[in-house]
Structure 1
Amino acid sequence: MMTPNLVMREGGEIVSLGGDSPYKVMTFNTCNDRNCPVDGALSDPTGIFFNDGNFNGPSGDVPSQDDTIVFNIPVTDGSTLRLTGNQPSQGFYACRTIYNFYPVNEDGQFVPGGTFTLVRETGSQLEGFSLAPRGHIRDGLTGNFAGTIIGLDYTWEYFPQGVEIHDYPAANCANFQGCLPINPGSPNTTTTTTTTSRTTDGGLTVTATTTNSITITKPTTTTITENDGTTVTVTDQETVYINDPWEDEWKKKKKWGKKGSKWEKDDSKWGKDDSKWEKDDSEW
């Protein structure tokens, strides 16, 4: 997890801990009955997330609207975290705010396969990017999520009664504008391919398998050769879309047309009885 470079004290005062990270990071004391043994300075969650006290927004070294702020919120593996703060997003720019919920064990270590339940029953909106890929999300009857939600699943806690999920404009910004941190672990490559078939009027079926995209995760620099022989250099995390040569024919040269005119004109090469293939079958 990212090391905190900010700390929130009781009452909402934020103090900078220095450093040159492009992210403003706070880690909250939200696990193990508020006795988290996680690394780094811990921020006080009582006012902002648990409505204990009177949180009316942050003071002190408050991140600007140009900063991406990350709230690290560890949750004990297998437990339930209930957010009851009245105005948890007051004073923060929603479109650059990330709420990072993740499971930890009793020693404060991240549990990759762990799970937890996240219950939101805030008095007003929880605004920003709510990142809880290992969380079962339960939405209460007051307030709303406003922005993006990622979780294992989502439902209303008091089904069939529930509230709407709002988008970013409800939080007074157009969309998420921050940058999600990249895991600086081992390089990981994912390739997406598509198999396409075309059948001529003469009965010939042509099949091609093409690479549509390759995603490479930091830290690595890789050179990829595309279908047409050109190369693309990928640094850090990037998705490279590789053109299907048939798509280029359709879109750029318009040989196919709406009625497949290329094949209609060229069918004569094969003959109605596919004699070319009949003669050459011995090669196969």
Structure 2
Amino acid sequence: MKSLSIKSIAAIALVNIGLVYGADGNINGLRSPQCVEDLSRLQVDLLQHFNGIFGTFSATKETEETEETSKASVYGPIAALNINSTGYDYNTNLKSNCEDYNGISRLGLMAKAAHVNGDVYGEIFNEEGSIIAANQKNECGMNSIDRSVTKPDDLSSSLWSFAPSSIKKTSRKLASFESDTFINRNKGLVSKSDARSFHGYRILKLPACSDDICKPFDPNTEITTAILKSRHSSLNTPFQNILPTEMIVFNVPVYVNHTFTITTLDVNKNISPCQVIYNFYPVDASGAYDSNPSSTFTLVRAPDVKIAGTILAPQANIIDSPTGYFGGQLITLQNYEGHGADIKDFKSVSNGECSSRSICWPINVTHVVVEVVKVSTSKTLVSTVTEITDKNGHFSTFGTVTVTDNIATVTATRK
């Protein structure tokens, strides 16, 4: 073969790479950099689906008798063991997939028991107990909500049978990584080397802290708590050195039985919600990870504060203020106490940049694959691939093909 068009090169490269999807949705041999905890594809779909996952969700939006105001919203689907809310609507920003009969994508609310004085958009699923809601937006012609739902096949693996363990393991795994990135006021995120504690992640760590006391931060290993505990954001530099495929992890150790209040008004500033994980976890008086499963702390979002991304706080009792918002995906296995603020989804807080972005749930997550494949050509070519689909129709890509000295390098981005 003397010469190849770009399309031909791309096709040969993909055939030789032999992209094959495993049961978990990852490409065999090419592990997602976002993956921390091994999960099945069904489990990935369940965890990825929800805007919020809670132990108990208790929320009320109070209004004066003469006041006319809109209700608060959880923009995406919600999952909780128990839900008790007044003045809150659920899944308001998403449309159910009516073609997916009783499937995960139809879910608007999943609980063991719930009392909802508000609207629920989408299917309601409960394993036991009862669901009472003021109104269900029945756009797919789904059944009445006043019943116990028979488990459909694709929900037979209950969220609650694996999620608590997976969420805790993921939080602890992230907490175990050594910090490799720091904040420079002029340069943004900087690292001492290209080495990473975990492939695809940049790890930043705050000192152990609460509202009562914070350890002085070590500039060689930690960043200042001002990123979360200042009225003005410390992220006032455009972080142009963040790659679109990197995840930014803020490890936030909180003293057990203490309270940590987020007071920085715009926490994200110039970091995309699609790329950031805030990992709040319990530590003892010495600052060491507290592995006692009963250990908890209180996480408060102060009025007007905005924080968005994957907010992972499995052992936090969360108290939410009536103004400002959490955005992205909010996770606690303890209690959430809401006072009228919305919980926004990834799509709304990222201006459509991403619809979902999670830790080990890589559906709809950018995934860069680089493989080198030998091809027979005498030309050196560099071009851009607009779109490729493998023979199974699984792999759409935007990326580049480079051929040098009979070696083709394909950089493909999984959508």
Common fold: TM-score over 0.5: yes
**TM-score (norm: length of structure 1):** 0.55
Q: Quick one: which of 288, 291, 308 aligns to 1:112? A: 291
Contact 1:116 1:135 in 2 (8 A): yes
Matched length: 176
* AA of the residue aligned to 2:192: L
Mind listing any 5+ residue stretches in structure 1 that lack a counterpart? 182-284
Q: Distance in 2 between matches of 1:92 and 1:110?
A: 27
The structure-2 alpha-carbon separation of the partners of 1:56 and 1:72, relative to structure 1 and needing over 3 Å to count, comes to: closer
Task: Note the C-alpha offset of 1:66.
Answer: 1.7
Task: Note the C-alpha offset of 1:5.
Answer: 0.8
Higher gyration radius (CA): 1
Q: Distance in 2 between matches of 1:132 and 1:36?
A: 23
Contact 2:233 2:269 in 1 (8 A): no
Contact 2:310 2:359 in 1 (8 A): no
2:266 match: secondary structure: coil
1:149 matched to 2:340? no
Task: Note the C-alpha offset of 1:96.
Answer: 2.2
1:131 matched to 2:345? no
Contact 1:15 1:61 in 2 (8 A): no
Q: Quick one: which of 183, 189, 194 aligns to 1:8? A: 183
Contact 1:65 1:93 in 2 (8 A): no
Q: Distance in 1 between matches of 2:279 and 2:216?
A: 16
2:264 match: secondary structure: coil
Task: Note the C-alpha offset of 1:162.
Answer: 2.0
Contact 1:57 1:87 in 2 (8 A): no
Match of 2:357 in 1: 177
Q: Which moved more, 1:7-16 or 1:101-110?
A: 7-16
Match of 2:215 in 1: 35
**TM-score (norm: length of structure 2):** 0.39
Contact 2:274 2:346 in 1 (8 A): yes
Q: Which moved more, 1:86-95 or 1:121-130?
A: 121-130
% identical aligned pairs = 24
1:50 match: secondary structure: coil
Deviation per CA, 1:31-84: give whole Å up to 9, x if none. Answer: 2622168997010121x2122555353456742332111110000111000001
Q: Distance in 2 between matches of 1:98 and 1:126?
A: 11
Root-mean-square deviation (CA), in Å? 2.8
Q: Distance in 2 between matches of 1:11 and 1:162?
A: 37
Q: Which moved more, 1:127-136 or 1:53-62?
A: 53-62
* AA of the residue aligned to 1:4: S
Deviation per CA, 1:149-192: give whole Å up to 9, x if none. Answer: 11111012xxxx421111111112333335449xxxxxxxxxxx
Pairwise mapping of residues 65-84 of structure 1 onto structure 2 (< 5 A)?
65-84=244-263
The structure-2 alpha-carbon separation of the partners of 1:110 and 1:153, relative to structure 1 and needing over 3 Å to count, comes to: same
Contact 2:188 2:235 in 1 (8 A): no
Match of 1:189 in 2: none
Contact 1:83 1:122 in 2 (8 A): no
Contact 2:323 2:341 in 1 (8 A): yes
Contact 1:37 1:108 in 2 (8 A): no
Mind listing any 5+ residue stretches in structure 2 that lack a counterpart? 1-175, 362-415
Q: Distance in 1 between matches of 2:218 and 2:235?
A: 27
Would you tell me which structure has more strand in proportion to its own residues? Answer: 1
